[in-house]
Amino acid sequence: MSNPVGNINRMIPGLIEKVTGGQGEVAGPDAKSGVSFGDVLSNMINSVNETQLDAAQSQQALMAGEPVELHDVMIKAQEAGISMDLLLEVRNKLMSAYNEIMRMQM
């Protein structure tokens, strides 16, 4: 069985470290890590926001005529887009799981 967290980390290097605060691993359901699910989501949102702001600053610097490499600006814009897409997919999966739980009969 493949490790989905490892696949995400290969897609966006450093994302797991940003989200988990440097621990490097996302805790499983049996782990006693002390990191709550809400904290992980909050860190992920903050990480995506920082990536978006960094990309915007690079674009502003390029438009202002500062010595910024075009390929660096494009890479930062793509990283910001991919991290936003990942965040939206996580949100969609969470909403789908929530709706499924709400439809369960007690």
Query: What averages of pLDDT result for each successive group of 10 residues across the chain (106 residues)?
Result: 51 59 55 79 94 96 94 96 95 94 89
In a domain, 60, yes or no: yes
Q: Is residue 76 part of a domain?
A: yes
In a domain, 26, yes or no: no
- Report pLDDT for 16: 59
Whether residue 9 lies inside any domain: the answer is yes
Total domains, the chain: 1
Residue 45 has a pLDDT of 94
Q: Look up residue 71 and give its DSSP letter.
A: H
Task: Enter the pTM of the model.
Answer: 0.66
Nearest residue to 9 (alpha-carbon basis) of 88, 91, 1, 23: 23
pLDDT of the residue at 1 = 44
Domain range enclosing 57: 4-19+35-103
DSSP 13: T
Report if residue 24 sits inside a domain.
Answer: no
- Write 6-12 long-range contacts (CB < 8 A, 24+): 8/86, 11/82, 11/86, 12/79, 12/82, 12/83, 12/86
Burial (0-12, 13-18, 19+ Cβ within 10 Å), 83: buried
pLDDT value at position 37? 85
- Residue 79 forms part of a structural domain: yes
- In a domain, residue 15? The reply is yes
pLDDT for the residue 31: 56
Residue 28 located in a structural domain: no
